[in-house]
């Protein structure tokens, strides 16, 4: 019997674009090697596919991504029945690369990666892995770990994080503090302890690149933080225990997109006898921080009855903006210090989860409707994405 992949469109209108789904269940059923996978739609079109190893230690996180050649028809909102089927087959095919998608790694004198540039035809994003703003480990500025320190949108190559200065000076004299980063996380404590959460700073904890992929559908990387301890009292064993933890971040940029997708989870292993124990995912809350120039009369769009996305935008030239969406609620209103010396600073926090999926959008909107664009992307990419099974 031929294997088929069902595509689910939960919207009331036709949709196309990219689809991502776990690869392991497909491989377990078909036993087709990744390099020999062929997908065809109902019209016989061979689809562009890509399989990425997200976590070298966990094959269940491998991802199949593919691009639809034609839009699929509307389907039930609850994903109860498929909108289309793809034919799965095995065969030889040429290795496809994309001229518009790429990934460049910046390394220091030691050979260790300290930053990564992701880019497509629309967007360039540089992620700083070191806690310093460059490869020098002796730099006293140790608060840049895991931060996006440069964003360029479109073809003008002007810095989005310091847009007003970039309009005049291009690449000269940008604010050295400009960045977008995960500031800290809070780990949930056991119910029998007095404190509800334990805070772990991430801004000064360097990251290590453990996986990377560049193909015709997307470029992606997985970075892992320096380890940190989670200590707790075990009332059943009546002794203190320690879990060795790391924060994992998967960052992906799809072909033709002007947004970055980020997935977060905290993996921990009990320190004693850890060779025989499976890792666990801990419950955490993520706090984001941004230092970017949106002026002193910017617009902030955030609605309490839809706490899953927000936008910040400038309603005059050059009309630049930033949008954020997540599958976890944004637990706090966007905090900023307008009209003060530190008016460029913003922060917001996510609600507790074991896994969070986020979208970072960079945009120009001369009609001032920054909320429309991020709201639409939240619906299609986060809340009701196309799914495959």
**Of 32, 57, 90, which residue constitutes the final position of a domain?**
90
Last residue of a domain, one of 66, 90, 114: 90
Is 136 within 8 Å of 164 (Cβ atoms)? no
Q: Per the structure, how many domains does the chain have? A: 2
Would you give the DSSP letter of residue 144?
-
Of the candidate ranges 179-188, 207-216, 250-259, 304-313, the one whose mean pLDDT is the lowest: 304-313
Question: 367 and 261, same structural domain?
Answer: yes
Residues 116 and 23 in one domain: no
Whether residue 178 contacts residue 290, with contact meaning beta carbons closer than 8 Å, is answered with no
Instruction: Verify that 53 and 124 share a domain, yes or no.
Output: no
**Mean pLDDT of the residues in the chain:** 91
End position of a domain, from candidates 50, 73, 90:
90
Note whether 213 and 82 are same-domain residues: no
- Side-chain-side CA neighbours of 256 within 13 Å: the count stands at 5
**pLDDT-based confidence at 208, cuts 50/70/90?**
very high
Give dist(CA 322, CA 153) in Å, integer. 11
Check residue 239 and give its pLDDT: 87
82 lies in the same domain as 116: no
Task: Looking at the structure, tell me whether residues 81 and 106 fall in a common domain.
Answer: no
CATH of the domain at 241: 2.70.98
Mean pLDDT value of segment 82-95: 90
| Cα 252 versus chain centre, distance | 6
Winning range, highest mean pLDDT, from 72-86, 102-116, 308-322: 72-86
Please report, for residues 37, 64, 174, 249, 320, the alpha-carbon distance to residue 255 in angstroms, rounded to integers and kept in the order given: 20, 15, 28, 20, 22
> Which string of b and e fits 118-154 if b means at least 16 CB within 10 Å?
bbbebbbbbbbbbbbbebeeeeeeebbbbbbbbbbbe
| 103 and 220 belong to one structural domain | yes
Residue with tokens 């036709």, as numbered in its chain: 14
Sole residue written with tokens 């089927």: 85
Please indicate whether residue 204 or residue 158 has the higher confidence score (pLDDT): 204
User: Which residue range forms the structural domain that includes residue 83?
Assistant: 3-90
Is residue 102 domain-shared with residue 38, that is, in the same domain? no
Instruction: For residues 68 and 175, state if they share a domain.
Output: no
pLDDT of 363? 94
Residues 203 and 60 both lie in one domain? no
Shared domain check, 181 and 86: no
Q: Which residues contact residue 172 at a Cβ distance below 8 angstroms, ignoring those fewer than 6 apart? A: none
Residue 369 is predicted with a pLDDT of 87
Q: What is the pLDDT of residue 276?
A: 67
Shared domain check, 372 and 310: yes
- Torsion angle of the four alpha carbons 208, 211, 214, 220, in this order, in degrees rounded to the nearest 10: -70
SS3 305: coil
| Residue 275 pLDDT grade (very low, low, confident, very high; cuts 50, 70, 90) | low
pTM: 0.94
pLDDT reading at 170 higher than 80: no
**Do residues 219 and 118 lie in contact, with contact meaning Cβ atoms separated by under 8 Å?**
yes
- 162 with 168: CB under 8 angstroms? no
Model confidence over 342-352: pLDDT tens digits? 788 899 999 99
162-187 average pLDDT score: 85
Residue 69: CATH number of its domain: 2.60.40.1180
363 neighbors 323 (Cβ within 8 angstroms)? yes
Tell which residue, 79, 58, 145, 143, has the closest CA to residue 384: 79
CA dist 230 to 3, 118, 248, 363, Å?
Answer: 44, 32, 16, 39
């Amino acid at each position: 019997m031929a294997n088929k992949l069902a595509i689910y469109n939960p919207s009331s209108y036709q949709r196309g674009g990219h689809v991502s789904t776990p690869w392991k269940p497909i491989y377990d059923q078909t036993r087709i090697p990744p390099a020999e996978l062929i997908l065809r739609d109902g019209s016989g079109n061979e689809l562009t596919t890509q399989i990425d190893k997200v976590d070298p230690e966990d094959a269940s996180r491998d991802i199949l991504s593919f691009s639809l050649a034609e839009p699929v028809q509307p389907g039930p909102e609850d994903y109860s029945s498929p909108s289309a089927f793809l034919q799965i087959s095995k065969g030889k095919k040429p290795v496809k690369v994309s001229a518009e998608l790429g990934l460049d790694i910046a390394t220091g004198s030691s050979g260790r990666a300290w930053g990564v540039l992701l880019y497509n035809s629309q967007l360039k994003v540089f992620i700083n892995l070191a806690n310093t703003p460059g490869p020098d480990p002796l730099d006293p500025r140790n608060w840049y770990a895991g931060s996006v320190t440069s964003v360029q949108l479109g073809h003008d190559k002007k810095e989005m994080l310091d847009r007003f200065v970039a309009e005049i000076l291009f690449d000269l004299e940008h604010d050295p503090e400009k960045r977008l980063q995960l500031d800290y996380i809070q780990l949930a404590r056991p119910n029998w302890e007095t404190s509800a959460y334990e805070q772990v700073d991430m801004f000064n904890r360097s990251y290590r690149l453990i996986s990377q992929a560049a193909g015709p559908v997307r470029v992606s990387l997985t970075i892992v933080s320096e380890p940190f301890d989670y200590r707790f009292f075990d009332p059943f064993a009546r002794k203190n225990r320690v879990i060795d933890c790391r924060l994992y971040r998967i960052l992906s940029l799809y072909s033709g997109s002007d947004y970055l997708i980020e997935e977060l989870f905290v993996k921990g292993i009990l320190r004693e006898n850890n060779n025989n124990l499976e890792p666990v995912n801990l419950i955490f809350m993520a706090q984001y921080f941004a230092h970017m120039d949106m002026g002193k009369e910017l617009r902030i769009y955030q609605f309490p009855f839809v706490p899953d996305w927000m936008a910040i935008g400038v309603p005059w030239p050059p009309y630049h903006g930033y949008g954020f969406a997540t599958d976890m609620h944004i637990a706090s209103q966007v905090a900023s210090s307008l009209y003060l010396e530190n008016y460029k600073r913003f922060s917001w926090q996510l609600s507790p989860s074991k896994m969070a999926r986020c979208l970072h959008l960079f945009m120009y909107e001369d009609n001032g409707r920054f909320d429309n664009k991020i709201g639409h992307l939240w619906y299609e990419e986060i809340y009701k994405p196309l799914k495959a099974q």
